[in-house]
Chains A and B, each alone.
Chain A
Amino acid sequence: MNLNQWLKTNTYHHSAFSDLKELVERKQQKNLSISLCIPTLNEDKTIGKEVVIFKSELMNRYPLIDEIAIIDSGSQDRTLEVASSFGADVYLSQDILPEQGFKRGKGENLWKAIHQLTGDIIVYIDADIKNIHPRFAYGLIAPLILRDEVQYVKAFYDRPLAVSQGVRVSGGGRVTEILVRPLFSLFFPDLTAIIQPLSGEYAVRREVLEAIPFPIGYGVETSHLIDVYNEWGLGAFAQTDLDQRIHRNQETQALGKMAFGILQTFLRRMESLGKIQPFPNLSTVLRQFQAKEEQFEMLEHAITEEERPPMNTIEEYNNKFTGSKFAGRNKKKPRKTGNRKETENKA
């Protein structure tokens, strides 16, 4: 597909969907149900406002969203209390699919949400957005309601902010520009059209979500893009400009960890797709330095990007959704689940 053409037809600004009344009508005509998932870990500063805004504006005022759920990784602060006090459904990730065990990571929460939530479309919104607004959800949901061929809608943030302490320009973050975009340019040039591949806000159809594996850590967004592209092509994507997003700024060292996790996931995908020769076993320890007075101290971070298999390979999930319109479709065998031995054998 011609990238310029794709940018023209599949890139939106949220203001194109501000007629929520019409959007709700179209949703009802298509008999779609929509779930909002907010994955959390210690987000009590921002979660209350997110729940209030989405519940009031997109459930009560305009019934666009049918359920709002917080999937929490074990917050130590008041995240769960605050969220439930404003009426959100709150789940502990470890209580969902207990037979599958519990792994700590945002991707784990996203994956388990597929089992817990019932919507035909799931929209994921990060919990740390300070300037939350209904557009963060409807801007992503709308292309899925309006265009049947679109499967996966990604957010990007294009409007520059006045930078002050703790607030930064969000469009094209550092890890995107330094790592992901160069990698995509080398191996998946089509995916460079995704302006902000690492944004944590996206809306996806269930039949896509249940058919792709989920890295539980930093690599989940990158892996999604590669898998959806591989299976459904660039035409399955759309992206929406949500203006600005104010959130916590991350230290460079934290971004280093993120980049390390993403790189592991990326290399694994490249191997399994046969785009590169298999590597020998690679280290999963990231080494960083910090200076203490005159001494340099080495920090070691063990970062292993584990992966969950496609949800439609999980028995409990298939049992739960038996009889639903999703039952029996698109079933995939576990693939490329991060088991290096298996991957190497395949390659």
Chain B
Amino acid sequence: MAGKHKKLMERIPEYEERIRALGESVLANLVMVSEIPAPTFHERARMDFLLHRFNEYELINCSTDEVGNALGILPGTEGERNIIVVAHMDTIFSEEVDHTVSIQPNLITGPGVGDNGLGVAAMLSLPMLLEHLNIKLKSNLVLMGSSRSLGRGNIEGVRFFLGNTDLDISSGVCIEGVELGRLSYSSIGMLRGELTYRVPESYDWTRFGAGGVILNINEVINKILEIPLPRRPQTTIMLGSVQAGTGFDKTPTKAVLRFEIRSESEEQVMSLGQQIEDIAAEVASRTGAEVSFINIAQRRPGGIAFSHPLARTSRGIMKQLNIQPRISPSTSELSAFIDREIPAVTLGLTTGEDMAQPGESISLEPTYTGLTQLIALLESIDEGCCDES
């Protein structure tokens, strides 16, 4: 096994040049995927395109499911194991946004090209790339464009698949377009919540003052900031967005605060979630406003260890390709694998700028290294180099 792995590591750098020869086909996939709007819960058109491509590549079991995932299987020569590659199809951009992508020699610009147009394009291009490199995996390669990943989607697509498939998945690789060097193999505990304050029609302004619900939210924020956070386990509260009011001269009657709690400890996450809910209720009780607390998404911490062969091999491949690894826990698709105790990692493919803006852009050149890393990892998994002994 060690000998095979060594040989694999030695030939990795050759892959990059050969992958470069197919650059325009990967780019074409990137453009065609990214120009199909796919806001979370509305990924249908993008899914149709993926299935069309899967059929063109003559994958087997090309299908969708109840939640709109796109699936296809590249059969392995032996087919005893199933490796899954997942890229989420949805984006944060609504259908009204102009999704036109522009290409310059080393720069691709357009909404969602990095998150996650490139991830999907890379996944989609794998059959073509493997064929070009003359790599025949022993394992079945399950390719999946997952739906309902972001925000309220709460990685429902991949969760649904893993919860309902008959396939025995041995390993998972999640692909994100950005950032090359990203390596996640653990999930951090997370709770994503939304607090909404409303003032009822019968509100007594003379009693509570005319400041409206912005003051309520402001008070809640102040109290959240007073919550002591432990250094160990590492814990943070991110106040993600506040929306309130409609203009200059109208008393605001509705305010929404969105936040995310992250911690290495599940108990901390739960405890902080409870504290914020209590704060919200207390502030509401003093002002007569109505408050609702919605738990949008939740993740359990976990994952494989630093020394797990999958993590170690991933780092080794990055080292071989001179990629500086940035190891960080993830709250994305990886969590669904962790929940089911399936060894999995998340990789990034290139560098990006202005992420989550309509002018989001990614560099082309590092993509070839990113794709090389992905293929080398799949080969390593297939060779058994990432199995725990």
A residues lining the B interface (CB < 8 Å) = 44-46, 48-49, 51-53, 55-57, 60-61, 81-82, 85-87, 130-131, 133, 162, 164, 167, 246
Contact = CB atoms under 8 A, between A and B. Distances in A.
Interface in B249-265: none
Contacts of B102: 45-46, 48-49, 130
Interface string B133-174: 000000000000000000000000000000000000000000
A56 B100 contact: no
Contact of B98 (A44, A45, A86, A164): A164
In order of increasing CB-CB distance, the 4 nearest A-B pairs are A56-B28, A48-B103, A49-B103, A56-B25
A44 B105 CA distance: 10
Contacts of A133: 32
Nearest to B35: A131
Contacts, number: 49
A167 B100 CA distance: 11
Contacts of A55: 24, 28
A51 B32 CA distance: 13
Nearest to A20: B56
A48 B105 contact: yes
Contact of A246 (B27, B32, B56, B100): B100
A39 to B, nearest CB: 19
Contact of A85 (B31, B35, B98, B105): B105
Contact of A167 (B24, B98, B101, B105): B98
Given A49-B103, A53-B28, A81-B105, 19 more contacts: A44-B104, A45-B102, A48-B103, A49-B102, A51-B24, A52-B24, A52-B31, A56-B28, A82-B105, A85-B105, A86-B24, A86-B103, A86-B105, A130-B100, A131-B35, A133-B32, A162-B96, A164-B98, A246-B100
Contacts of A81: 105
Interface residues of B, number: 16
B31 A53 contact: yes
A61 B25 contact: yes
Interface in B33-66: 35, 56
A57 B98 CA distance: 23
A67 B101 CA distance: 24
Output the residue of A45, A48, A53, A82 with the most chain B CB within 10 A.
Answer: A48
Nearest to A132: B31
Nearest to A86: B24
A56 B101 contact: no
B25 A49 contact: no
A60 B32 contact: no
A56 B105 contact: no
B104 A82 contact: yes
Nearest to B104: A48
